[in-house]
Amino acid sequence: MRKRFLIPAVYAIFLLLPIYWLLNMSFKTTNEILGGLTLWPHSFTLDNYRIIFTDPTWYDGYIASIEYVVINTVLSVAVALPAAYAFSRYRFLGDKHLFFWLLTNRMAPPAVFALPFYQLYSAVGLFDTPWAVALAHTLFNVPLAVWILEGFMSGVPKELDETAYVDGYSFPRFFFRIFMPTIAAGIGVACFFCFMFSWVELLLAKTLTAVAAKPIAALMTKTASTSGYQLGLLAAAGSLTLIPGAVVIYFVRNYIAKGFALGRV
Amino acid sequence: MSKTVNHKAWFFVLPVVLLVAFSAIIPLMTVVNYSVQESFGENQFFWAGVEWFEKVLHDDRFHASLLRQILFTALILAIEVPLGLVIALAMPRRGPWVSVCLVLMALPLLIPWNVVGAMWNIMALPDIGLLGRGLNVLGWEYNYTRQPFAAWFTIILMDVWHWTSLVVLLCYAGLVSIPDAYYQAAKIDGARAWAVFRYIQLPKLKYVLTIAILLRFMDSFMIYTEVVVVTGGGPGNSTTFLSIDLVKTALGQFDLGPAAAMSLIYFLIILLLSWLFYTLMMRNEAR
Amino acid sequence: MAQIVLRDLRHTYMAAPRSDADWALKKLTLEWADGGAYALLGPSGCGKTTLLNLISGLLTPTEGHILFDGRDVTSASPEERNIAQVFQFPVIYDTMTVYDNLAFPLRNRRVGQREVDERVREVAGMLELDSMLKHRAAGLTADGKQKISLGRGLVRSDVNVIMFDEPLTVIDPHLKWVLRSKLKELHQRIRRTMIYVTHDQTEALTFADQVVVMKDGEIVQIGTPVELFERPSHTFVGHFIGSPGMNVLPCEARGGRAVFEGQTIDTANGVSYRGEGKGLELGVRPEFVSFAAEGVPVQVTKVLDAGRYRIVETATNAGRTIKMLVPEDERIPEGSARLHFAPERTQIYENGWMVT
């Protein structure tokens, strides 16, 4: 029994190693990093973090990222809720085809959309705003949210809806007061996955922003190429991007298994 | 659940349709537009028919990227799916360690892709990186910026690090949903661990495994950011996969026609293979 | 086949139990003879599944011993104990044929090919599965699959005891009867010890020679179906068994007789009562309540036609409900009536337990 846990333990170490390395570098000066290999900071410094917290170009990047991720998550889930309800409860003209079409969008390579999106959002004047990225990401997140929510909703028997109507609930009241709390776990899982895909995606985030709404991820790549290798700073910036992810996982840790169990990732 | 027929349900679906159509159809139309036209300078377009498609399909560069992509995806699937399954089987299903394991597994999935790339980029540097230096110390003259093999090694290792967790979490969820009674019955029947795996676990994991394979296929076929940040597609062209090639053509060279044609072919390949998996999945679920 | 003895068995799922309520199974000692058909009957949460799993070896008891034929098997695995168990939902190996499913336990024990074939065909015949042997197990109906589950237990000729954990839960109602009869028939035929866990009294009473009624982790009564019906030793048993269950009415005791709402009632055990007259209840089954010229005054409130008899609900002056079973040809008075309780079938209960 004990031996069995060796495998996940070894794998866990494998997973933590690069993260540890990143954190390690974030507390070193760039000189020390470039100087050679050291397993822990010999000249421990908080400078890298200080720069990020005080320099607007840096922390604006984080704010910009959080902005579009939140907009995207809220938008995707809000729009997906009624749609998922429809797919779960009703049959209507073209429903299967619609569902499939939605799924195919998840299969679209972002690279294919890079240039068209650039032109589209420039044309409607949303270029370089969080809205552009948020909307662009909905292409991939909305189908995902619909799929996940539909899965959870199908687990709730129709009798609940019918009972509510018999009890005199209007549809909006039923939906918000009764139905949504019932599928709260599903909404949580959908939000988690929307957050996940939006926070990590870079290509579109970079293409659709220039200066004002530049997300932190894109800022990092810009810094890397233009001002030479400020590795310590980069490492600190990178380390800070781990935090939102860790926070989100912590909150949904009890639902992760359930969400994946539906197999609707 | 028995669903009632109600065409008014379209109102529920309308916001989603509008949103996704805005994001999908308009750009796609643009792409289709470009793919059948040739441009000379600004705003001068001439009908080109299938010329771009033919050009792309006969282009050696495209073939090369496609082959590299196929090899990469094949390797990824061959490593990540069995590995993910093995780890999921070994993970604890009860007790205090479950949450810890789950959070740990999910962590790599929530790191922005360029940070992932940056992490591995620096870690693999032969003189100052933990991995790079370590490998050199062990005897391999490893330098991923110069050697194609080393570059592939690094990228594959990075992808395994990054995405195996997805397979692990999917398989784990599938395993956890197998009722205890099956394991109990197997115990009573005197079945060994291998028989339990073969006759109980594996059949019940078919659904999640299909999804895992489908997702990893799709996502690895679309890979862009991590690779670009680590190798930039190099050394030379050795790690230039389809997305990278496409972006170079589209945004780099602004060769709109070929880029558009390539985009459509690219999309089509994924759609076709995904559709295959989708029907397999649906057949599984119906059963 | 084995005689099963449970000695001072107690089980809790908690690491540090503090009160009595933390124990899923309170201390019990029980002995089951070889080859009998037993039922564990009780509501959800009464501990019957816990007890079953302790006997089968899927759980190790916190305290106590379990002996099969005198041999202590408390720490033995299910395989070592040589038991078979049928679960609530069919547990079959989907990818195998019916034949392979039945052969599986034998093959795991490295039984020879010819013997495997013999045993499998014999059991398939017993369960009427022989026409399906080559079919994929996954394609059978729920009752077919449960038969396979049962079959896997029967193929092993040396199995000590076969256990059933609410096996008819997923079976269609009209097939439940068929399967129940089949199980009883099987037991007559092969005479192995069978323990059947259920919350359905019909299943328990028709299947078992002896029924163990449980509640809250304790054994309330052990007896034959007739004993449980005619002399329930606890109001819970009276209430749980029978449809409708026994009428339980608060009463007092005076001079060896019970007094209910001012009426003196003769009981079977009234003379044995020596106590204070507090916390007393009167128990009488609807079958043994009849209309009479003298007796407890009631109003007839409801009549339900159940075919061969009618279930009549009446209300006493104090508002208590008394149910009675009236044969179909007897006249039911309207409005007021008086009820007579058959004395040899009426008992006094103190704090739930029958006074002896």
Question: Could you read off the pLDDT of C99-110 as tens digits, one per residue?
Answer: 999 999 888 888
pLDDT class for C276, splitting at 50, 70, 90? low
Work out the angle between the directed axes of helices A6-26 and A231-261 (0-180°, nearest 10): 150
Residue C87 with chain B: CB contacts under 8 Å:
181, 184-185
pLDDT of C270 over the 80 cut: no
State whether A71 and A99 are in the same domain: yes
What count of residues does chain B have? Answer: 287
The proportion of chain A whose per-residue pLDDT surpasses 70, expressed as a percent, equals 92
pLDDT class for A265, splitting at 50, 70, 90? very low
Residue B101 with chain A: CB contacts under 8 Å:
8, 12
Range scoring the smallest mean pLDDT among A56-65, B32-41, C169-178: B32-41
User: What confidence score (pLDDT) does residue A244 get?
Assistant: 84
- Which residue in chain B is spatially nearest to C97 when comparing CA positions? B199
User: What confidence score (pLDDT) does residue A223 get?
Assistant: 63
Could you count the other beta carbons within 10 Å of the beta carbon of residue C216?
17
- State the alpha helices, DSSP H only, in A36-55: 47-54
Instruction: For B157-173, write each residue's pLDDT tens digit.
Output: 999 999 999 899 888 88
State whether A63 and A112 are in the same domain: yes
User: What confidence score (pLDDT) does residue A97 get?
Assistant: 83
CA distance B148 to chain A (A): 22
- Which residue in chain C is spatially nearest to B183 when comparing CA positions? C91
pTM of this prediction?
A: 0.80
pLDDT of A100 over the 60 cut: yes
A26 within domain boundaries: yes
**Pair type for strands B4-5 and A90-91:** parallel
State whether A154 and A72 are in the same domain: yes
The proportion of chain C whose per-residue pLDDT surpasses 70, expressed as a percent, equals 99
Give the CA angle between residues B61, B63, B69 to the nearest 5°.
105
pLDDT class for B155, splitting at 50, 70, 90? very high
pLDDT of A35 over the 80 cut: no
User: What confidence score (pLDDT) does residue C355 get?
Assistant: 81
State which residues form the domain around A21: 1-45
State whether A64 and A150 are in the same domain: yes
User: What confidence score (pLDDT) does residue B7 get?
Assistant: 78
pLDDT of B287 over the 50 cut: no
Please name the amino acid found at residue A57.
T
Nearest to B27 among A120, A158, A231 (CB): A120
Considering only CA atoms, which of B230, B254, B228 is closest in space to residue B241?
Answer: B228
In this prediction, residues C290-319 reach a mean pLDDT of 87
Nearest to C105 among B182, B184, B190 (CB): B190
- Is A260 within 8 Å of chain B by CB? yes
CA distance C126 to C189: 10
User: What confidence score (pLDDT) does residue B85 get?
Assistant: 94
State whether A40 and A75 are in the same domain: no
In this prediction, residues C91-114 reach a mean pLDDT of 89
A50 within domain boundaries: no
Instruction: For A103-118, write each residue's pLDDT tens digit.
Output: 788 878 888 888 788 8
Report the number of distinct structural domains present in chain A: 2
Considering only CA atoms, which of A102, A93, A92, A85 is closest in space to residue A141?
Answer: A102
Helix (H) or strand (E) holding A226: helix A216-226
Nearest to B120 among A18, A35, A95 (CB): A18
Could you count the other beta carbons within 10 Å of the beta carbon of residue C328?
10
Residue A254 with chain B: CB contacts under 8 Å:
99
Are C91 and B181 in contact (CB < 8 Å)?
yes
- State the alpha helices, DSSP H only, in chain B: 10-35, 51-58, 60-90, 97-106, 113-123, 130-137, 148-176, 180-188, 193-196, 202-204, 206-221, 225-230, 242-247, 256-286
Q: Which residues are within 8 A (CB) of C331 and not within 5 positions of it... i.e. 6 or more apart?
A: none
A87 within domain boundaries: yes
User: What confidence score (pLDDT) does residue A183 get?
Assistant: 81
Domain harbouring A64, CATH code? 1.10.3720.10
Q: Which residues are within 8 A (CB) of C176 and not within 5 positions of it... i.e. 6 or more apart?
A: C168, C203
A89 within domain boundaries: yes
ipTM: 0.82
State whether A80 and A2 are in the same domain: no
State whether A106 and A225 are in the same domain: yes
Helix (H) or strand (E) holding C116: helix C113-126
**Pair type for strands C257-260 and C247-254:** antiparallel
State whether A139 and A34 are in the same domain: no
Q: Do chains B and C touch (3 or more CB pairs under 8 A)?
A: yes
State whether A65 and A20 are in the same domain: no
pLDDT of B39 over the 80 cut: no
State whether A77 and A38 are in the same domain: no
Cβ atoms of A203 and B247 closer than 8 Å? yes
Domain harbouring B83, CATH code? 1.10.3720.10
CA distance A93 to chain B (A): 6
State whether A208 and A95 are in the same domain: yes
Report the number of distinct structural domains present in chain B: 1
Residue B203 with chain C: CB contacts under 8 Å:
94-95
Let me know if C67 is exposed, middle or buried by CB neighbors in 10 A (0-12, 13-18, 19+).
middle
pLDDT of A233 over the 90 cut: no
Burial call C113-143: b when 16+ CB within 10 Å, e when fewer: eeebeebbeebbebbebeebbeeebbebeeb
Are B16 and A102 in contact (CB < 8 Å)?
yes
In this prediction, residues C328-354 reach a mean pLDDT of 85
State which residues form the domain around B74: 59-286
**What is the rounded average pLDDT for all residues in chain B?**
84
State whether A146 and A16 are in the same domain: no
CA distance C287 to C342: 9
B18 within domain boundaries: no
CA distance B217 to chain C (A): 27
CA distance B265 to chain A (A): 10
B72 within domain boundaries: yes
Helix (H) or strand (E) holding C99: helix C98-108
B45 within domain boundaries: no
Distance of CA A195 to the CA centre of its chain: 3
C55 versus B96: which is more confidently predicted?
Answer: C55
Instruction: For A133-143, write each residue's pLDDT tens digit.
Output: 888 888 888 98
Tokens of C341: 């309780």
B41 within domain boundaries: no
User: What confidence score (pLDDT) does residue A44 get?
Assistant: 81
SS (H, E, C) A172-221: HHHHHHHHHHHCHHHHHHHHHHHHHHHHHCCHHHHHCCCCCCCCHHHHHH
In this prediction, residues A128-151 reach a mean pLDDT of 86
Instruction: For B172-231, write each residue's pLDDT tens digit.
Output: 888 887 888 898 888 888 888 899 999 999 888 887 888 888 889 888 988 988 898 888
A66 within domain boundaries: yes
The proportion of chain B whose per-residue pLDDT surpasses 90, expressed as a percent, equals 16
Please give the domain boundaries of chain C with CATH numbers for all domains.
Answer: 4-236 (3.40.50.300), 247-354 (2.40.50.140)
CA distance A156 to chain B (A): 9
- Is B31 within 8 Å of chain A by CB? yes
